[in-house]
Structure 1
Amino acid sequence: MNTDKLMQVVAFILKRNNGSMDYYNLIKECYIADRRSIDAIGNAITGDSYVSMNRGPVLKGLYTFIKDKNENVNDQKKWNSCFSVKDHKISLLDTAISDAYLSDFEENILGSVSDQFYGYSYEDMKKYAHADSRFPEWTPVEKGEEIPLPLENVMKAVGISDKEIELLIAEKKVFEEEASLFHTH
């Protein structure tokens, strides 16, 4: 996961929501945007991994940052300097966060998702996210538990064939290996 890009995604959505929103809604909007990107081009925007939790699919890295529990202390400090979480609200502290990692395509998806759910309350988003078969890749679990939600399951849920999934996953691994040579995040 590229922490800087994830921070840019979060900042982009928060800016479109007057700088603050319920973090449950933020997590869902990020997941929905990733899912739409996977459906369109076979690749997620955030590069985060996913887990199934009791309230639906969740971006694991984003969730750990919000809960102030990311294992990378330096990344958590950087996150905390840009975002504040209080009473289930996440707020943007640094409005100068760059969007250099976001393509026009990604910004269009993020903007579309943000516009669709603008003004949704926690209850509205919960109702949307828990509608029957909205996210067939999600496995309900007990509160406080989580299980991995593999990218392959999301790809399959949006209709990507097994053969195409195999190719996309192999391509993603090569890209990640190359990126790790040049970037430490």
Structure 2
Amino acid sequence: MALPTYPLEFRSLMFLIRSHCPACKKADPMSFNARKSAQVIAYLIAKSGGSSLNVVKAIKLVYLGDRQSIKNFGFPILDETRVSMPLGPVNSMTYRHVNGEYDLDECGWSEFLEDKANHQIGATKKFSVDDLDELSDADIQCLDEVWAEFGHLNQWQLVNYTHDKNNVPEWEDPNGSSIPIPLERMMRYLNIENAEEQVSLVEDHQHLDRVFASLRSH
């Protein structure tokens, strides 16, 4: 699949930012937008028509949302590491936030989602698209497509789907552990042209997002 190309000026801008911007040098390379991740799940809950989703189902749909976004636009919705786990592919930081491994109040997660209970994760209220300011129109489009295709499946059907190499060939059996899923491998299996270059472009955009986030916090 051919994706839009970006002008040389963008690369030049990224070089200047990396070289001279103080906020850039302070930016955490492992930063994660927990607020956006929570909004992705809150939107999927809203699509379900209920007030909560099964945790495993929510995690699977988040991964499939990233996959759909890469397929459509060459960029994932969320900036985070993805791993193969025994129940299939997982967005690592989203998974850890769902499990309460971070301060969910401080990162903005609990503004949208309640702590998981009885294998469910619930929204704090009914949200409209306008409430979910971290999600772009492209993000919403991809999540709508994922819900239309997979929203009717339960968690175990989604586990089976993501274990099938015909469906998600980038997943590998981790034998009880976890194995990173490189973004480039996802792109190659999704037939993205010039996958290595596209990964570099994604990383540049994500880096720029982190710079702006750092500037806003100062």
**TM-score exceeds 0.5:** yes
Per the TM alignment, residue 71 of structure 1 is displaced from its structure 2 partner at its CA by: 6.8
Within the candidate set 19, 23, 29, 2:51 is matched to 19
RMSD: 2.3
Question: Do 1:138 and 1:149's aligned partners in 2 also have CA atoms closer than 8 Å?
Answer: yes
* Number of residue-to-residue matches in the alignment: 181
Where structure 1 has 5 or more consecutive residues not aligned to the other structure, the ranges are: none
Partner of 1:131: 164
Partner Cα separation in structure 1 for residue 69 and residue 163 of structure 2: 20
Are 1:5 and 2:40 counterparts? no
Instruction: Give the match's secondary structure for 1:51.
Output: strand
Question: Do 2:55 and 2:119's aligned partners in 1 also have CA atoms closer than 8 Å?
Answer: yes
User: Could you say which structure has the higher strand fraction?
Assistant: 1
Partner Cα separation in structure 2 for residue 171 and residue 66 of structure 1: 27
Letter aligned with residue 116 of structure 2:
V
Partner of 1:92: 123
1:69-148 → structure 2 map (5 Å cutoff):
69-70=101-102, 74-75=106-107, 78-80=108-110, 82-96=113-127, 98-143=131-176, 145-148=177-180
Within the candidate set 61, 78, 92, 2:93 is matched to 61
Report the identity percentage: 25
Which deviates more, 103-112 or 78-87?
78-87
Letter aligned with residue 109 of structure 2:
W
Partner of 1:182: 215
The TM-score normalised by the length of structure 1 is 0.84
The TM-score normalised by the length of structure 2 is 0.73
Which deviates more, 57-66 or 117-126?
117-126
Say if 1:73 and 1:141 are closer, same or farther in 2 by CA, change over 3 A: farther
Within the candidate set 188, 194, 199, 1:156 is matched to 188
Where structure 2 has 5 or more consecutive residues not aligned to the other structure, the ranges are: 1-31
Which string of whole-angstrom CA distances, capped at 9 and with x for unpartnered residues, describes residues 114-159 of structure 1? Answer: 122223222221222222332222221123x222222222222212
Letter aligned with residue 153 of structure 1:
R
Larger Rg: 2
Question: Do 2:84 and 2:178's aligned partners in 1 also have CA atoms closer than 8 Å?
Answer: yes
Partner Cα separation in structure 1 for residue 144 and residue 199 of structure 2: 30
Say if 1:69 and 1:166 are closer, same or farther in 2 by CA, change over 3 A: closer
Partner Cα separation in structure 1 for residue 203 and residue 121 of structure 2: 35
